[in-house]
Chain A
Amino acid sequence: MLSLTHFMLLSGALFAIGVAGVFVNRRHALVLLMSLELILLAVNTNLIAASHYLQDLAGQAFALFVLTIAAAEIAIGLAIVVVVFRSRETIDAEDLSEVRG
């Protein structure tokens, strides 16, 4: 029988894949954005599973908000990638280290 644990383990594994993607693709801005998307998808799956098994619609409402913010984030992120690509002809994140702190 399916339980909340099944879904939470699945979304935990998805979250881990997303975090691993951030590490593996540290240089590629677009794959970084993809990994962020996967992480947010895992969070949403977790929220919806909890909402279903605890019979509380708050989880789905929060998933909707996470979805909204993720869409806004990806729009801004892609715009930044396009701007960076236009000005320097590359999106290698390690080449974007001119500002040194």
Chain B
Amino acid sequence: MAFQTLLFYLFGTVLLAAAAAAVTLRNMVHAALSLILSFFTAAMLWMLLEAEFLSILLVLVYIGAVLVLFLFVVMMVERHTPTIHRRRNYRIVASAVAAVMVAELGMALLAPDFSPTAQPLPAPLEYSNTKALGSVLYTDYALAFEAAAVALLVAIVGAIALTLRVRPDHHRQNPARQSRVRKQDRLRLTDGRSEPPC
């Protein structure tokens, strides 16, 4: 058995186990950590598929930012909510649906006429996955790339607009009022004599 095949089965087992743990564990923090493990293992599988840039992107951006944000929200919410009980009868439906899906996919993929058996050539030594992907992204998919950037911007604005709240007991600056202020609002001229003590 080739070394890559061994790695595939190792990572595949870890990936499926971590994914199953992520959706079944009762403790939400453990579930989020399992999700992180499954994403990390998927990144290793992508590395096996010679998609180095996306693999590193998944670890840095997705695990580093998104899933840690997830963990943050889980810890914030879970402290105050008792465990939500799951109903047992959903489990049967869920297993049935998952089994049917896997069976159908297996039937489709293991059919003899589905045979992309050609092994890709190993990439030459000077091949850079990042450069190749970049040259495709900035030419063929430039419009989609810009649209993705706009989608991210909308997500940023939306997330801030949803979670921003003004607390009445907080003192905060109002830049509009600050820039509207005139001299006579704040400055009072006196005639130079000190005011008599009252």
**Alpha-carbon distance A31/B8, docked complex (angstroms):** 27
What chain A residues lie within 8 Å of B84 (beta carbons)?
27-28, 92
The answer to whether A21 and B23 have CB atoms under 8 Å apart is: yes
A68 to B154 Cα, complex, angstroms:
12
CB distance from A91 to the nearest CB of B (A): 6
Interface size counted on chain A using CB atoms at 8 A: 72
Q: Bound state CA distance, A73 and B35, in angstroms?
A: 17
Q: How far is the CB of B46 from chain A (nearest CB, A)?
A: 5
Closest to B21 in A: A17
Summed over the interface, the residue pairs from A and B with CB atoms below 8 Å come to a total of: 228
Residue pair A21, B51 in contact (C-beta under 8 Å) = no
CB pair B94–A8 under 8 Å, yes or no, is no
Chain B, interface size category, equals: 35 or more
> Could you list 23 examples of A-B contacts with CB < 8 Å?
A3-B119, A19-B98, A19-B101, A20-B23, A20-B94, A22-B94, A26-B87, A34-B23, A34-B35, A35-B23, A41-B42, A55-B120, A57-B136, A58-B136, A60-B54, A60-B129, A61-B133, A67-B61, A79-B162, A79-B163, A82-B73, A82-B77, A91-B81
Binding site for A on B (CB under 8 A): 2, 4-5, 8, 12, 15-16, 19-20, 22-24, 28, 31-32, 35, 38-39, 42, 45-46, 49-51, 53-54, 57-58, 61-62, 65-66, 69-70, 73-74, 76-77, 80-81, 84, 86-87, 90-91, 93-95, 97-99, 101-102, 105-106, 109-110, 114, 116-121, 129, 132-133, 136-137, 140-141, 144, 148, 151-152, 154-156, 158-159, 162-163, 165
